Amino acid sequence: MDSRIARIRRKLAKVPYAALRSYSFGEEKHGFRLKPPLPDAKVAEFEADHHIELPDPYRRFLTTLGGGGASPFCGLLSLQSCRLFTMDPRGESGRPRGFTFSGGPPYRSDLFLHIIEAGCTDLVLLGITGPLAGRVVTGNADGFWGPNVSSATDFLAWYERWLDHMLSGRDNRDLKLTSPALRAPVDRILRQHRDREDLSRP
């Protein structure tokens, strides 16, 4: 088993719930508690229904730590509440406008799973396919900001970094979860989308 699982469990137990703590927006919704882990069969059923394979670190989190609850912002969504999005490449000067809900297979674009409730139209997503698979990506469905790619290598690294910030009393804004070096994969995805649109035009 990944040693990070046990480490995350210990760290989460050390983060006390404090009502309206300013540096953890939304914690009153989850109280730093996780829901029970999901059976492997439930996760496999979700994957089969959506024709996807979840990144292994996120899948291990769901089946060994918890199927929702404690996380940045308003908490991890239960798996049945997670929806698939694609990146919307349309915007001025080729800038992304946000993410678009994916109605179902077959998919033509790289997929992102909405995993955390961040409020309003802000999204915390996990890359499912394409060059950002396994990475946490934040953005806005209406294109007001983002997308920003986490510098953490996978979901477990991203989650543990959040716990480290909570234990040291830092604000969510100080999470520094994005990396300019990871802008290139986002730009590549946007170019691919634009190329596909150009090819599909009569």
* Residue 56, pLDDT score: 97
- Across 20-24, 90-94, 162-166, 190-194, the highest mean pLDDT is recorded for 162-166
pLDDT in tens, 62-113: 999 999 998 888 889 999 999 998 876 554 444 445 666 665 555 567 899 9
The whole-number pLDDT of residue 119 equals 73
pLDDT at 93: 45
pLDDT at 168: 79
Q: Encode pLDDT of 110-152 as tens digits.
A: 899 999 978 777 889 999 998 889 999 888 776 666 678 888 8
Q: How many CB atoms lie within 10 A of CB 158?
A: 23
Backbone angles phi, psi at 188, to 5 degrees: -65, -45
Q: What is the pLDDT of residue 9?
A: 94
E strands in the chain: 84-88, 98-101, 111-117, 122-127, 136-140, 148-149
**What kind and span of H or E run contains 197?**
helix 183-200
Is the pLDDT score of 1 beyond 90?
Answer: no
The residues, any chain, with a CB within 8 Å of residue 185's CB and separated by 6 or more, are 130, 131, 132, 149
pLDDT tens digits along 29-70? 777 889 999 999 999 999 999 999 999 999 999 999 999 998
Give dist(CA 109, CA 113) in Å, integer: 13
